Structure 1
Amino acid sequence: MQQRLTLITLGVRDLSRSLKFYEEGLGWKKSPDSQEAVAFFSLGGIVLSLFGWDSLAADANQSAESSGFRGITLAYNTRSREETDAVLQLAEKAGGKIVKPAEEVFWGGYSGYFTDPDGHLFEVAHNPFWEMNEQGQVLLP
């Protein structure tokens, strides 16, 4: 596993309100890869994603109202399904807890989640629609 992150996802209560803040307030440009339920912003090699709070919790097999769910996930994108499985196994062997085994997901990729010893959620995902450079950075259009 390379020492890097590719995606930070913030669970938001109101996507329209958040988009207004980031686009109009901060002047950030949303990626054309964004969809109705999720927005992506390129941050110079890392992607910021805005996704509904409840949807993010469900995607990670967490309770949206649990005091343990913090409304944020960190992601490590891989180049293949096999690498996704290997990284999840490595995290578990290192003392992490698998909270969602890797599986095919609704957006066409393959992902799973683990928590570190303090409960921070990490998604490990293969997104066949995103290009990655040699350093493992996601290259959004």
Structure 2
Amino acid sequence: MDQRVSLITLAVGDLERSAAFYEALGWQRVPSPDGVIAFDLIGQTLGLYSRAALAEDLGIPADSVGGFSGVTLGHNVRSAEEVAPILALAEEAGGRILRPAGDVFWGGFIGYFADPDGHVWEVANNPFSPLSANGEFRWEGH
């Protein structure tokens, strides 16, 4: 198996509400089949999919999909000064700030927000892992 995450799928309660949230962050939809809303990322895609439909695909009760699963989605930026404005944008779009922008023990600068369905995003500047010219994140520059 190659070391790659190609698609991140988020189970959401209302596809259009969730899509509007990500569009308010400045993201643009790409063509996708009915029932799925997709946003191309740098080397990956974020897919929004009905919580009920995803649960059906998984063969589990719909009420067992959701809530904080212990997973966060990371969005790294080039400078510490970029973190707070992104958190503010997420809050304006209907997200909830979980941790305001600030220093973190490992030497970076981070903040957390939850999207309207409770999916947790970390916005981070990691001085030890600068983004490439095209925006790719590489752990410790590797």
SS of 1:138's partner is: coil
TM-score (norm 1): 0.52
Aligned-pair identity in percent equals: 51
Q: Which structure would you say has the larger RCO, counting Cα contacts within 8 Å and 6 or more residues apart? A: 1
Measure how far apart 1:2 and its partner are: 6.8
Gaps of 5+ in 1: 4-43, 47-66
- Which residue does the alignment assign to 1:112? 111
- Which residue does the alignment assign to 1:84? 83
Question: Counterpart amino acid of 2:116?
Answer: P
Aligned alpha-carbon RMSD (Å): 2.4
Q: Which has the higher helix share?
A: 2
Structure having the higher Rg? 2
Question: Counterpart amino acid of 1:89?
Answer: A
Measure how far apart 1:135 and its partner are: 2.3
- Is 1:137 matched up with 2:136? yes
Q: How does 1:26-105 map to 2 (within 5 A)?
A: 68-105=67-104
TM-score (norm 2): 0.51
Going from structure 1 to structure 2, the CA distance change for 1:45 and 1:108 (only over 3 Å counts) comes to farther
Contact 2:78/2:130, CA 8 A, preserved across alignment: no
SS of 2:97's partner is: strand
Measure how far apart 1:101 and its partner are: 0.6
SS of 1:69's partner is: coil
Listed one character per residue, the Cα deviations across residues 34-88 of structure 1 (whole Å, up to 9, x for unaligned) are: xxxxxxxxxx967xxxxxxxxxxxxxxxxxxxx8321110010011111111111
Measure how far apart 1:108 and its partner are: 0.4
Which consecutive segments of 4 or more residues in structure 1 shift more than 2 A?
A: none
